[in-house]
Amino acid sequence: MALARVVSFDGVDSDRVEEMKGRIGGGPPDDIPAKEVVMLYDADAQRAMVVLFFDNEDDYNRADQTLSAMPADETPGQRSSVGKYDVAVRATA
């Protein structure tokens, strides 16, 4: 079953979002075997949410270790929550 890692960030400004676009736009690094990365941004609230999708538990765990150890200056903002979810429904147009 596919899994998702959902992370919320506070204190995210538009400059940081642009920087993250450049970083994430090329795809995740090898030590983060996500199949898809989605970043949602609320400019008024300066909040962002990043959703990473994984094919299996091993890939999720590998990425979770890397992402949990990531220095704060490499994240979009101040990490406010991290959650692990089963992907129950997923559709694309």
pLDDT value at residue 93: 87
Query: What is the per-residue pLDDT for 22?
Result: 86
Task: Please check the confidence at residue 24 and state whether its pLDDT lies above 90.
Answer: no
Domains of the chain: 3-81 (3.30.70)
7-20 tens-digit pLDDT: 999 999 999 999 98
Q: What is the pLDDT of residues 37-50, one digit of tens each?
A: 999 999 999 999 99
What share of the chain has pLDDT > 90, as a percent? 73
Identity (one letter) of the amino acid at 42?
A: D
- Return all residues near 77 (Cβ < 8 A) that are at least 6 apart: 9, 10, 11, 12, 13, 16, 46, 47, 48
Q: How confident is the model at residue 23 (pLDDT cuts 50, 70, 90)?
A: confident
Q: What pLDDT is attached to residue 29?
A: 85
